[in-house]
Amino acid sequence: MAKKDYQAIWSSVDHPARYVGGEYNCPTMTGRGTRLCFCMPDLYEVGMSNLGLRLLYHRLNDMADVECERCFAPAVDCIDKLKEANLPLPSIETNTPLGEFDMVLFSVQYEMLYSNILLMLDMAHIPFWAKDRGEDAPILVAGGPCAVNPEPFAPFFDIIDVGEGEEMLPEIVSLYRRFRSRPEGWNKQEFLLAAQQIEGVYVPALNREGARRKVVKRFVEDFDACYYPTKQIVSNLEIVHDRSMVELYRGCANGCRFCQAGFYYRPLRYRSVGKITELCAKLMDETGYDEISLGSLSTGDYPCLKELIAKLRPLSDKRHVSLALPSLRLDTFEGEFSQAAKKSSLTFAPEAGTQRLRDVINKNVTDEDIDRSLTYAFRAGYNSVKLYFMLGLPTETDEDLMGIVEICKRIRELYRAETGRKDVTVSVSCAVFIPKPLTPFQWEGQITMDEMKRRQLLVKDALRPVKGVTFHYHDDDVSELEGIFARGDQALAPVLVRAHELGCRFDGWTEHFRYDLWCQALSDCGIDKRKYLDPQPLDKELCWEFIDCGVSRRYLLSERDKAYRAVATTSCNKGCKGCGCQSLTKCNRKEGLQ
């Protein structure tokens, strides 16, 4: 089809900049060499905010004779127009239909995106099931955080990347190129057999249940030398995180027992102050963003954060660029950090309302930490605080829930004592605890929807009289579905197909989510949802445990036991805990961070 056919579509939809490419720092595509398309199954504004996309997109385009384009889930108005014109979903750089690429790569960030994978494949006219695609079909690859348990979507993909992709993806692409250029010709089966020898690669068709081979998670060992592009794409429209970002380190030392990312991204690996400073300076010069974010799972735990800020301030002040410090823990927020951040709302995550429950989940934050950090913040000029909690945590009682209310009251008292004013605002957001794979709570049950509603209303009613406090909570039906797919197996793949047939899409967006259709899809496929939501047996191998993410089952069980005794485990920074994550790699040492 002619490119002008697509241009007619783009000119008639809302926000055409989502689809036309041409952004600043976008590589020029020639249509030669091995052609890849990197897909994010969400809107452009969300997908382009993902740091992983930026890193891997530029990494692949830096390979010789390789070109990587992008594709995002089209908005509803664009879906309708493409279907009316019978045009397959294309890339945004050259308007090439996805089916014409050599490889199509999907980044799967969270469970509520699964339906959009099928939406995009359907619109691209690519068969869902890997077994139904022939020799000349694109190789479909999935990766991202959901690869910790890829089983619900595994049958749709030829290859699944488990772990970090900066080194793994180029190896897969290089292998593909070798097989495409062999004198004896291309053979998909032989390519897949060779691909599964690459560390971190899971080939579902070759790794059948009952004869599982272990897949070892891939990670970049030398993080200071890790590829990091500074000449990054700058979007033509405002995106969710419209700024540049540098990772201070990967992994997390804290070991919160509910947090999948904290275990999945181990071992802990730091970037040096010098390297971060170099990257920030280049990003400031090569992107033009007026804000740069110093990111990680817990930014305040970077050992040399004060020294880093001192080095960056002259550079950022000279270029009129602000520094953002997201993901600060309550026990790491200090006055110096508050001076580096914007004077807007401060965000903290106590997660639980009482010290007992914080010890259960290993959130090493005390009431004294909360009071000290907020006192720093109020002295620095903040008058708005956002707090994140979870409902339904293991061993949680109504007393723990009332602790959330007491924290809010105490914040107001602290603010009044520090400033003499009453204009502080507190925003409380409560998510529902979802037991996730690769955590000490992966065996726990998820509370029922009725119990979710009861606990949400209990907190809401108790906060109602507290002035200046607003309360938000996650939808119980969305949380239930996320829980099903978090611990789901391959029996859920037909459910995804059925849900797509019924019209499910953009399930992470409240206005599009259809719980009734999901219930119908589960029922039509004979699935009892409590199979995935109820407690899982401790003596049974879970469906994702053929994937070795470096943290041992023994360690997770020991942490679960400590949780039920409300015994906390100290940070990895205070000594290795023996989880099995190879925590003594050369890049884990704090020495030499300068």
Q: What is the pLDDT of residues 147-165, one digit of tens each?
A: 999 999 999 999 999 999 9
**What pLDDT, on the 0 to 100 scale, is given for residue 186?**
96
Counting Cα atoms < 13 Å in the Cβ hemisphere of 523 gives 7
pLDDT digits (tens, 9 = 90+) for 234-276: 999 999 999 999 999 999 999 999 999 999 999 999 999 999 9
More confident of the two residues 286 and 208: 286
Domain with CATH 3.40.50.280 in the chain: 3-216
Instruction: Check pLDDT > 60 for residue 339.
Output: no
The DSSP output letter for 218 is B
Q: With bands split at pLDDT 50, 70 and 90, how would you rate the model's confidence at 583?
A: very low
Pairwise CA distance, residues 407 & 250, whole Å: 31
The fold of the 244-487+536-587 domain, in CATH, is: pyruvate-formate lyase- activating enzyme (3.80.30)
**What pLDDT, on the 0 to 100 scale, is given for residue 589?**
41
**What pLDDT, on the 0 to 100 scale, is given for residue 585?**
52
Question: What's the token pair of residue 310?
Answer: 């001192």
For domain 3-216, which CATH number applies: 3.40.50.280, 1.10.1060.10, 3.40.50.720, 3.90.550.10?
3.40.50.280
CB atoms near residue 174 (< 10 Å): 15
User: Are 258 and 292 within 8 A, CB to CB?
Assistant: no
Percent share of the chain, pLDDT over 70: 94
**Over residues 178-188, mean pLDDT:** 96
Q: With bands split at pLDDT 50, 70 and 90, how would you rate the model's confidence at 379?
A: confident
Pairwise CA distance, residues 61 & 91, whole Å: 15
Question: Is this structure's pTM higher than 0.85?
Answer: yes
**Over residues 397-423, mean pLDDT:** 95
**Over residues 493-510, mean pLDDT:** 96
User: Are 69 and 92 within 8 A, CB to CB?
Assistant: yes
**What pLDDT, on the 0 to 100 scale, is given for residue 591?**
42
Buried b (16+ CB within 10 A) or exposed e, 220-250: beebbebebbbebbbbbeebebebbbbbbbb
Q: Lowest mean pLDDT of 38-47, 80-89, 345-354, 495-504, name the range.
A: 345-354
Pairwise CA distance, residues 34 & 426, whole Å: 52
Helix (H, G, I), strand (E, B) or coil at 300: helix
**What pLDDT, on the 0 to 100 scale, is given for residue 154?**
98
Percent share of the chain, pLDDT over 90: 84
Q: Which residues pair with residue 464 across a beta bridge?
A: none
Most confident of 207-221, 459-473, 568-582: 459-473
Question: What's the token pair of residue 8?
Answer: 């007619």
Instruction: Check pLDDT > 50 for residue 130.
Output: yes
Domain with CATH 3.80.30.20 in the chain: 244-487+536-587
**Over residues 131-151, mean pLDDT:** 97
Closest among 320, 276, 282 to 299, alpha carbons compared:
276
User: Are 442 and 487 within 8 A, CB to CB?
Assistant: yes
